Amino acid sequence: MGWTADADRRWMPVAGLALAGLLIAATGPALAQSAPIRDYAEPALIDSRLAVWVAAQLHLDFAAFVLAVPMFALAIEVFGWRMARRDPAGAARYDWMAHEMARLLPAAYSLTAISGAFLGMLLFSAYPRLMAYMTETFGPTFVIYPMFFVAETIFLYLWYYTWNRLQGNRKWVHIVLGLLLNIFGTIVMFIANAWATFMMTPGGVDEAGALISLYDAVWNPGWMPLNVHRLIANITFGALLCAAYAAYRFLSARTEAERALYDWMGYTGNLIALFTMLFLPFAGYYFGFELFAYSATYGVTLMGGVLSWLFIIQAIVIAILFIGAAYYAWLGLLRIPGSEPQRRMVPVFNVALIAGFMVWATPHSMAASIEESTGQFHPLLGALGLMAPKMIAVTLILVVLYVSYLLYRRAGKVPVVPWARTGTQVEWALIALMALIILGLGIYGYFAPADIRIKTSIWQILVLIGGIVITFGIDLALLKGAETRAAVRWGTMPRRGQYILILLAFVIVWLMGLMGYARSGARLNWHVFGLIEDTSVSAGLPTLGEAAIVVTAITLIFFVLLGIAFAISALSGRDTLPEFGDEAREAAA
């Protein structure tokens, strides 16, 4: 695209937004300290808590998108760059897809900055005493944060607008720009996570809340678990939104070549999301363990108190997410002639997934009659509602998803290595052994004391990860140089597959909003848990019904704004589509 006068003009609103964010972050604390400090104010025409809720969730949604997309877009770009010498046409296709994903960022980044500035103004005006305390505690980070935010802004636009100019021998420079963008973006997220987790698991302060150690305040018990959880969740989030965009482009495509390319892009987005979803439940458990270890109140509130029903809804929503992603992958088999043997396994997989999610969604106690409300656990629910059976269920669900992907890789291909038969038997035997070990550890943990049960949960995770690494290595070796009997026919995915991708994007945004409500609601009537109590007129936990309405409204607003951002991105034109003939389609598979 190169540097032009039009490109330079695009920087003006961006620079303005960056400076606005810098000024708000730098002057907000000063204003909060210089003016007479009140506990609460009502700057908005609606309830302050509701206004902050909407602004915060919209900002987090856009921030997750603009943080995650550069990560896997850069990975795709690097993959294409590494294959440039042996396959220039293939490298061009990967570079096109990475650029197509990056095309969605500039307008979305502007909305991220706008929503962040709006959130900052609401917080400092509606909760002056709370923000004065946070400023006093995290003062240095309030200065560092806008610096990294501006650096992220600069490198985002450098990375995007120099894409076509920095090609060939200068491609490594563009890769470095993308790497720095991701580093600065991750630092920005980590700093903001320190503020959020301090409100849940405050550290580095005395009993009165006075700062003792800024390091401990930042590295509080919940900080690193939330960093890990959000990093994985954001990649899943961004990948599904990119897949939904590809689905829209597929449905509106006018040529077979365009349809094939966006089919491939949608498949890649779903594959990235499916891979990261394998680790997402465990990252959530890691965060939950740290919360429960910090205070048993969180365990009671989240799993056995006022928020317990929320996790039943969460299980159902995650079931939609996992089964939808798997269903799209199973539909992908229709692109491959001769994939009937793999397709015969789909009903079995579907039953396994549904059964697993039924266990995952089973509450520990549910009073369905007067007799059952006397404090005794239901004879069936009392068993399946415990954490040990749920851990077995979710881990075996992930095994099913992984096996589904292996079958997709095998469809239409015949291994040619001399040890193909033995290798295949070893691979499937290891997968069966992995499932049996996970089942055995879960059953043992069910009857073991609580400390042993936690350890068996960790062992199940390690067995799953180790089994995936070993068997996937075997699969890579088995399929090296495999004979292709039927190439993938990109662009022939049924239209219902594209609707699934759009549905998954809506579900992941709604789920992120729901879990944001859970994370904040777990503090109950505390701004900073155990230190600063919420004494405003709106103090108290919103009902689950109210939360569902607000989260749905936020999700709809987000998609309207995201649609506007995508439409603005489309105004910059489209790159020339790379060649995607039969040989290219086979290579992309």
Q: Which of 290-294, 367-371, 383-387 has the lowest mean pLDDT?
A: 367-371
CA distance 104 to 562: 9
pLDDT band at 28 (very low <50, low <70, confident <90, very high): very low
- Calculate mean pLDDT across residues 54-78: 93
pLDDT band at 154 (very low <50, low <70, confident <90, very high): very high
Q: Taking a C-beta distance cutoff of 8 angstroms, is the pair 197, 220 a contact?
A: yes
Give the pLDDT of residue 12: 37
Residue 409 CA from chain centroid, whole number: 24
pLDDT band at 379 (very low <50, low <70, confident <90, very high): low
Nearest to 165 by CA among 318, 1, 385, 303: 1
Give the pLDDT of residue 77: 92
Nearest to 509 by CA among 116, 62, 107: 62
Which helix or strand (DSSP H or E) is residue 269 part of?
Answer: helix 256-277
Which helix or strand (DSSP H or E) is residue 530 part of?
Answer: none
- Length of the chain measured in residues: 589
Whether the per-residue pLDDT at 134 is higher than 90: the answer is yes
pLDDT band at 26 (very low <50, low <70, confident <90, very high): very low
Give the pLDDT of residue 39: 74
Backbone angles phi, psi at 395, to 5 degrees: -70, -40
The amino acid present at 160, given as its one-letter code, is: Y
Whether the per-residue pLDDT at 455 is higher than 50: the answer is yes
- Calculate mean pLDDT across residues 44-59: 86
Task: Please compute Rg for the chain using Cα positions.
Answer: 25
Residue 496 CA from chain centroid, whole number: 23
Highest-pLDDT range among 20-24, 387-391, 405-409, 555-559: 555-559
CA distance 98 to 74: 7
Highest-pLDDT range among 16-20, 263-267, 569-573: 263-267
Distances in Å between the alpha carbon of 139 and those of 33, 211, 580? 12, 11, 53
Q: What percent of the chain has pLDDT over 70?
A: 85
Give the pLDDT of residue 296: 85
Task: Give the residue with greater pLDDT, 588 vs 385.
Answer: 385
Highest-pLDDT range among 59-73, 406-420, 569-583: 59-73
Distances in Å between the alpha carbon of 181 and those of 14, 67, 155, 288? 16, 9, 5, 30
Give the pLDDT of residue 15: 42
CA distance 354 to 508: 19
Give the pLDDT of residue 195: 94
Give the pLDDT of residue 336: 82
Model-level pTM?
Answer: 0.83
Backbone angles phi, psi at 208, to 5 degrees: -90, -5
Whether the per-residue pLDDT at 371 is higher than 60: the answer is no
pLDDT band at 385 (very low <50, low <70, confident <90, very high): low
pLDDT one-digit tens code per residue, 321-345: 888 888 888 888 888 887 777 788 8
DSSP strand pairing (526-528 vs 483-484): unpaired
CA distance 512 to 508: 6
Q: Taking a C-beta distance cutoff of 8 angstroms, is the pair 198, 528 a contact?
A: yes
DSSP-H helix ranges across 332-449 = 340-343, 346-360, 381-384, 387-410, 420-447
| Residue partners of 555: CB distance under 8 A and separation at least 6 | 506, 509, 510, 513
DSSP state of 205: B
Give the pLDDT of residue 33: 45
Helices (H) and strands (E) in the chain, counts: 21, 4
Give the pLDDT of residue 359: 81
Which helix or strand (DSSP H or E) is residue 378 part of?
Answer: none
Distances in Å between the alpha carbon of 571 and those of 106, 144, 341, 530? 12, 35, 45, 51
- Calculate mean pLDDT across residues 187-211: 93
Whether the per-residue pLDDT at 75 is higher than 70: the answer is yes
Whether the per-residue pLDDT at 363 is higher than 60: the answer is yes
Nearest to 508 by CA among 243, 308, 289, 248: 243
Task: Give the residue with greater pLDDT, 93 vs 412.
Answer: 93
DSSP-H helix ranges across 162-222 = 171-198, 214-218
